[in-house]
């Protein structure tokens, strides 16, 4: 696999000639809706095991091997037609083997909203271990909202993917509620009602396990949350269900803020089966422009996380979206969310050139709208996805979790499958 960065004037035909692959395969693999409108700086994933290099003046097999990151012996073996490796001719074509990066087997979770298009779901399921359907909202009396999850559960089971029930402390018609969490975590009768309702739903819907996404919990309810987790796992595990939690991206145990304080990393690491760390939203809807998941910030979270949670229990969060900010940014600014493919389409429409921030390991571009206002767009491409996915191997993590899979971005899955095998569980 090669990640090719489009240069000005490039065409799919040019790229196909460079790598000896049909233009249609490149178009299909990257799901390019308009292959005639490539954007400078855009990434194209080329699924190939070799590259053709045309010898220039001063080239040697040693320098070519070094430039492409392959061994000299591998380069010589790939070119048996070269009778004298010390003598190359300008214009001669050399086959360069592309080094594979298979890093092992990991677990992959994908959050899906019930309104996901069936075509997107079907295309994505082969890449998943778990499908977490978002979400059953808990109520103050311990009952649960209803969602249309049956089609997603059946699709997951048909594809050999484990469906996960997700509960949240989101008030119906509102947002995450600290007060709702307080009631659930401190009222034993309400909690008992909730657990009974969860068990009934798990059984009736044929779910594989439970994912708990309680956010903005009051700091004083931190130990109440831990007790709830101990209680619910003690009930669900004997019934054959796993339990996962989604937690905020903390860099230290004493990180301040309502989002962070009640999420006890060491406790979650002991109590539950998987811990999904939401390593995204540094760049967010109401915040200043920046990458959604800058790798330097993600590393800070993982450095702390693996020091207190067994690394194999951690699923690192992977965003599947970007944001468009109007500049100059003010505290009243609100960004516009967009898909990764939508960002590329926008760049093509406005004639922007995509740039790449090496510190954040993320692509971005600027443009001016019809009113003359400057914008900046941060999103993900094959390079940023690969950089973060390699952290799974670096930190020996259990895998990753995508928020969300409702929009299909093929480069996510091309890169993921080039690096890892996706684990499937027995259903």
Where in the sequence numbering do the catalytic residues fall? 215
CA distance 32 to 35: 5
E-strand ranges in 372-419 read: 374-378, 399-403
Tell me the chain's radius of gyration from C-alpha atoms. 24
- Per the listing, tokens 């571009």 go with 365
Residues 6+ apart with CB under 8 A from 29: 45, 46, 47, 410, 414
Q: Are 212 and 137 in contact (CB under 8 A)?
A: no
- Reduced to 3 states (helix: H, G, I; strand: E, B; else coil), residue 62 is helix
Closest CA to 127 of 427, 426, 400: 400
- Helical packing angle, 382-394 and 295-308, nearest 10°: 20
Closest CA to 149 of 183, 111, 184: 111
Burial 16-42 (b: 16+ CB within 10 A, else e): bebbebebeebbebbebeebeebbbbb
- Cβ-in-10-Å burial (0-12, 13-18, 19+) of 317 comes to buried
Helices (H), strands (E): how many in the chain? 14, 18
Secondary-structure breakdown of the chain: helix, strand, coil percentages, each rounded to the nearest 5 = 35, 20, 40
Give me 234's structure tokens: 């003690």
Sign of CA dihedral 280, 424, 406, 268: negative
Pairing of strands 399-403, 93-97: unpaired
Q: Where are the alpha helices (DSSP H) in 166-286?
A: 178-186, 188-205, 222-236, 265-271
Pairing of strands 322-326, 374-378: antiparallel
**Beta bridge pairs of residue 262:** none
CA distance 163 to 358: 37
């Amino acid at each position: 696999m090669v990640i090719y960065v489009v240069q000005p004037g490039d065409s799919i035909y040019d790229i196909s000639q460079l790598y000896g692959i049909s233009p249609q395969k490149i178009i299909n693999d990257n799901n390019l809706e308009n292959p005639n409108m490539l954007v400078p700086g855009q990434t194209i994933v080329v699924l190939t095991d070799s590259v053709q290099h045309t010898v220039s003046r001063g080239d040697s097999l040693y320098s070519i091997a070094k430039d492409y990151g392959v061994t000299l012996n591998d380069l010589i073996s790939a070119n048996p037609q070269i009778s004298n490796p010390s003598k190359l001719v300008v214009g001669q074509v050399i086959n360069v083997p592309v080094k594979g990066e298979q890093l092992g087997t990991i677990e992959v979770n994908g959050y899906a909203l019930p309104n996901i298009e069936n075509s997107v779901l079907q295309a994505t399921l082969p890449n998943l271990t778990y499908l977490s359907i978002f979400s059953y909202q808990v109520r103050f009396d311990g009952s649960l909202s209803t969602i249309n999850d049956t089609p997603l559960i059946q699709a997951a089971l048909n594809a050999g993917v484990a469906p996960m029930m997700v509960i949240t402390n989101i008030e119906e018609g509102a947002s995450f509620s600290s007060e709702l969490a307080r009631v659930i975590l401190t009222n034993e009768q309400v909690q008992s009602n909730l657990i009974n309702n969860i068990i009934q739903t798990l059984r009736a819907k044929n779910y594989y396990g439970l994912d708990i996404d309680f956010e903005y919990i009051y700091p004083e309810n931190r130990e109440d949350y831990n007790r709830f987790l101990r209680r619910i796992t003690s009930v669900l595990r004997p019934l054959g269900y796993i339990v996962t939690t989604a937690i905020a991206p903390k860099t230290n145990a004493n990180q301040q803020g309502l989002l962070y304080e009640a999420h006890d990393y060491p406790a979650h690491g002991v109590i539950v089966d998987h811990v999904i760390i939401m390593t995204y939203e540094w760049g967010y809807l109401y915040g200043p422009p920046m990458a959604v998941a800058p790798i330097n910030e993600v590393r800070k979270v993982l450095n702390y996380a693996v020091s207190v949670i067994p690394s194999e229990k951690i699923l690192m969060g992977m965003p599947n979206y970007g944001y468009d900010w109007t500049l100059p940014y003010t505290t009243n600014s609100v960004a516009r969310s967009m898909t990764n493919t939508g960002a590329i389409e926008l760049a093509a429409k406005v004639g922007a050139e995509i740039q790449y921030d090496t510190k954040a390991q993320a692509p971005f571009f600027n443009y001016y709208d019809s009113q003359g206002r400057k914008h900046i767009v941060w999103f993900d491409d094959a390079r940023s996805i690969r950089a973060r996915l390699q952290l799974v191997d670096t930190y020996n993590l259990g895998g990753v979790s995508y928020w969300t899979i409702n929009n299909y971005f093929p480069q996510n899955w091309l890169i993921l499958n080039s690096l890892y095998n996706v684990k499937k569980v027995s259903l």
